[in-house]
Amino acid sequence: MDLGPALLAVGAGEWPDHFEQFAAALDPAWIEQALTATGTATVRRRKLPAEQAVWLVIGMGLCRNRSIQEVARHLRLVLPGSTATGHAGSLTSSAVVQARARLGCESVRELFRQTAEHWAVSAADTQRWRGLAVYGVDGSTLRLADTPENESAFGRPGSSRGGAAYPQLRLVALMALRAHLLAGLALSPYTTGEVPLAETLWDQIPDDSVTVLDRGFLSYRLLHRLHTQGSSRHWLIRTKAGLKWRVLRRLGANDHLVEITLPKQARRAHPELPETLQVRVVRYQRRGFRAQTLLTSLTDRERYPAAEIAALYHERWELELAFDELKTHTLEREETLRSRTPARVSQEVWGLAIGYNLVRLAMARAAESRHDAALATVMTVILLNLLNHACASSLIECRTAIFRRCRPALYL
């Protein structure tokens, strides 16, 4: 759809026909596999079986202006009752809580892993930079419902007047930067730092890739592990003030191959580290801004020109934009998650991540058909607006049989 007609559709509360593609993007076999792998597949007939509970959790993040019960009714996620009219049965709050408890967190996490592997990795593979898939890693926080359980499990940041108003969780995301698709996610209590939390993500980065990092991740052990484990797994990061090195060779203007001597305490803590690291230092300056210095494992100046490395580093901000899309647009600035217990908090975050990827996947495909990558970001806002404000009667025209085949029409 063109941008103009899409904007008009938002204003009119209409639902463009091609949005039916969203439900089809999530293969029912992946849902089955995730439920089976975690032992949460529904055996007995229930009003809200596990297959539909998965879509309820996804819909919670995408329909922020509706209660959870309204989300279920909005998406017709209740098996038909025994009435003569055949209308869907009602769904109580306790039924929702029980369905989410049966579903658990691990099944939604496993579904995210499967979908990310199919969507994000393949998207990064098709949008390479000089033969390398482009990824980014960065961290953020999410605000949680203020309950004793959430505070005990996740903690809350401090403030000048004591504790903050809400508990928070910390997350670190691995993203295919050029497609805005989440490839990995790590969650923890607020007190866990981003660098140790990111440890679980490094093994998910594929070979023949470059990962653009925030300078907060400047860790010798991290960079050494990323570069030496696997094949051609490169990194690019901005240096910290005070870091010293010895110049080995000039590669060009403001471009040098250098040697960094690792601190003794770092090598004592991690004996696998070498005494020195050879890295490339690229210094550049944009007009009106301070000069910046980058460190990278991309030491081949012929294959990886310095000017292109400087330009590539700025793609790191795509991850910051993704966090904005997630918090500001997907959550409609209601950054406090709904769930009131730790297990359901984690479940909600994994569902939110799947929903975000579904939206970005659809928008990326729309942009590809128009050969306009910038259109994808604009269309994300349009789609989320439609999801939250269009009428239920115009959104859902799907038979119950579709749900029984694990194809609920969340995005129709």
Question: Which pLDDT score is estimated for 42?
Answer: 57
Query: How far is C-alpha 90 from the geometric centre of its chain's CA atoms?
Result: 33
Question: Which pLDDT score is estimated for 77?
Answer: 62
Question: Which pLDDT score is estimated for 400?
Answer: 35
Question: Which pLDDT score is estimated for 89?
Answer: 55
Structure tokens that stand for 272 in this block: 């696998």
Amino acid letter, 127? Q
The one-digit pLDDT tens for each residue of the chain (412 residues) are 444 444 344 344 444 444 455 667 787 788 888 888 887 765 455 556 777 788 888 888 777 777 777 777 766 665 544 333 444 456 677 878 888 888 888 999 999 999 999 999 999 999 999 999 999 999 999 999 999 999 999 998 887 677 778 899 999 999 999 988 999 999 999 999 999 999 889 999 999 999 999 888 988 888 888 888 888 999 999 998 888 999 999 999 999 999 999 988 888 888 888 899 999 999 999 888 889 999 999 999 999 999 999 999 999 999 998 888 888 777 766 678 888 999 999 999 999 999 899 888 877 776 666 555 554 554 555 555 555 544 333 333 333 333 333 333 332 2
Contacts of 43 (CB under 8 A, 6+ apart): none
Question: Which pLDDT score is estimated for 208?
Answer: 95
Determine how many CB atoms are found less than 10 A away from the CB of residue 353.
26
DSSP string covering 156-213: --EETTEE-SS-EEEEEEEEETTTTEEEEEEEEETTS-HHHHGGGGGGGSPSSEEEEE
Question: Which pLDDT score is estimated for 72?
Answer: 74
Q: How far apart are CA 277 and CA 243, in angstroms?
A: 13
Buried-exposed string 69-107: b where 16+ CB fall within 10 A, e elsewhere: bebbbbbbbbbeeeeeeeebeebeeebbeebbeebbbbb
Question: Which pLDDT score is estimated for 234?
Answer: 95
**Backbone φ, ψ for residue 64 (5° rounding):** -70, -20
Q: How far is CA 57 from CA 28, 173, 239, 338, in A?
A: 15, 20, 40, 11
Residue 380: its H or E element: helix 374-389
**Backbone φ, ψ for residue 189 (5° rounding):** -60, 160
What are the domain boundaries of the chain?
3-108+341-404
Q: Residues, the chain, total? A: 412
Contacts of 265 (CB under 8 A, 6+ apart): none
Q: How far apart are CA 371 and CA 194, in angstroms?
A: 36
